[in-house]
Structure 1
Amino acid sequence: MKKAQLEIACFNLESAIIAENSGADRVELCANRTAGGTTPDLELTKIVRDKITIDLNVMIRPRGGNFVYSDSEVAQMKLEILAFKKLQVDGFVFGILNEDGSISEQQNKDLVALANPLPCTFHRAFDGVENKFQALESLIGCGFKTILTSGQETNVVDGIDVLAALVRKATDRIIIMPGGGLRSVNITALKQKTKAIFYHSSAIIDAGELANQLEIQALKANLESL
């Protein structure tokens, strides 16, 4: 089995630096934690890119709320991808759905093509799809490399059976990355059950927006102890 890796969702520069110094393998940079993450500021991203050497993925999400976007919102997402590519980031995180809860294939394909050759993660919009296994195949067809999901539950513990099934169905065609309530106290059980190779956490253990150094170290240690 491949060595499992850890991504930390960060909402500020300090968290990104803490993530790298604590052993994280990748940072997902976002703004607006209360909305579930939106596109970060371009200047902040430039600074983060300058300060950390581990992989840096950027959220492309024009607003909170649902994942059905207008033509103007999709146009904005395209411009953001082009702008962030110039900063030498390592990948993008986004997701677009249709009104009926299916994957908006053409819109997602267009963004994946624009991001190329950088890899794209389909974020937790996946947890709102009607047919998870059909959506899995659709996202593989769109060219995504990773799906971030809680297993369609409020957290990864409740979604553990679905996560395990998704990992089995995905085989080596796409990475299923458990995220949503992932903590050092449950990551061992998640790895044993799902056999996933990448895991996602904010490592925030209070009401603020700062990643906790000890929590990241514990997440990483528990991942590597199996």
Structure 2
Amino acid sequence: MRLRVLSEARCAIMTKPRLPRIEVCVEGVDGLLAAQKAGADRAELCASLLEGGITPSIGVVREALKLSTIPFNVIVRPRGGDFLYSEHEFQAMLRDVEALRDLGVAGVVIGCLTFDGRVDVERTRALVRAAKPLTVTFHRAFDMTRDYAEAVEDLVHCGVDRVLTSGQRRTALEGIDILRHTVKLAGDRLTVMVCGGLNAGNIGDVLERTGAYEAHFSAGNTLPSGMAFHNPHVGMGGTALEREYELTVTDEAAVRSTIAAARAQLVQPA
């Protein structure tokens, strides 16, 4: 009888609706501070969001640790582009994971694929081993795999804690069916964190329709540089010249309104 009571209590806990957890993707310390001020549960700390996020410097991470009041995960991605890495790139990722673990961040965000579009199981396991006891999130490299169901099983077997996905589509709304199925496949073995064009107008709908209880968005805003002098004859990167005098910042008001919309939604487990 006691076992039955415990079992029923456990089921009640597992099926009880809960408030979603919100992660904000930020570029640098200023973005992290804006996200935490707006009420984010967690941040993903990156450099160069124009490239989808690459590994920030150790100096940025140290400053973030000094000032943060919320946990943050750090992306470990040596460059933009695909997720098929050379051996030297992979070794650099391992060293970055070890350094971040020793610094004491909350977690790392990784993603390695094979040439044929599968999770690189060997390298993923190695990165997970190097990261522990930190939490490990597998980023949207998942969305570039050829078989998302197979990828879910690979991530579970590798010991990954969380996967970030837009349902293999440009936005979460476009990928809603795959997101819902991914949540069901993952069950309680892997947390599915939904992303992709989320804002105050759609985040509640996406959470309700997928059954996911973690969501991720960036809420970036472009502002003019504070530079008074502009040299029109030279640029420092591969973007348009005007981009040299623009800044991408985290919009605190947009973060706040999106979080409020998400928290108005009690998530029913899928």
Report the TM range for the smaller structure's normalisation. Answer: over 0.9
Q: Report what 2:89 is aligned to.
A: 73
Match of 1:20 in 2: 36
For 1:144-163, what aligned pairs fall within 5 Å after superposition?
A: 144-163=160-179
> Could you tell which deviates more after superposition, 110-119 or 180-189?
180-189
User: Does the aligned pair in 2 maintain the 1:9–1:27 contact within 8 Å?
Assistant: yes
- Residue equivalent to 2:101: 85
Residue 213 of structure 1 and its aligned partner are, at CA, apart by 1.1
Unaligned runs of 5+ in 2: 1-16, 224-246, 266-270
Residues 67-146 of structure 1 mapped to structure 2, 5 A cutoff: 67-146=83-162
2:77 to 58, 61, 65: 61
Match of residue 175 from structure 1 = 191
2:142/2:163 contact within 8 Å kept: yes
Deviation at 1:204, TM superposition (A): 1.3
Amino acid at match of 2:19: K
Report SS of the residue matched to 1:210: strand
Compute the displacement of 1:83 (Å): 1.1
Distance 1:48 1:15 in 2: 10
- Look up the match of 2:181: 165
Structure 1, unaligned runs of 5 or more? none
1:219 alignment partner AA: T
Structure with max Cα Rg: 2
Q: Which consecutive segments of 4 or more residues in structure 1 shift more than 3 A?
A: 205-208
Give the structure 2 partner of residue 209 of structure 1: 248
Q: Quick check: 1:31 aligned with 2:47?
A: yes
Alpha-carbon distance, 1:205 to partner: 4.1
What amino acid does structure 2 have at the position aligned with 1:11? E
Amino acid in structure 2 at the alignment position of 1:158: E
SS of the residue 2:220 aligns to: coil
Size of the aligned set, in residue pairs, is 226
Structure-1-length-normalised TM-score: 0.97
Paired letter, 2:40:
A
Shift of 1:3: 2.2
CA contact under 8 A between 1:12 and 1:210: conserved in structure 2? no
| Rounded Cα–Cα distance in structure 2 between residues aligned with 1:205 and 1:38 | 19
Report the Cα offset of residue 44 of structure 1: 0.7
Whole-Å separation in 1 of the counterparts to 2:82 and 2:190 = 24
Once the two structures are superposed, what CA deviation does each residue of 1:39-96 show, in whole Å capped at 9, x if it has no partner? Answer: 0011011001110121110000010110011111110001111111222100000100
Residue 248 of structure 2 aligns to a residue whose secondary structure is coil
Equivalent pairs: percent with the same residue? 35
Normalised by the size of structure 2, how large is the TM-score?
Answer: 0.82
Give the conservation status (yes or no) of the 8 Å contact 1:22–1:213. Answer: yes
Query: What is the CA-CA distance between 1:224 and the residue it aligns to?
Result: 1.2
How far apart are 1:2 and its partner, in Å?
3.0
Distance (Å, rounded) in 2 between the aligned partners of 1:197 and 1:87? 28
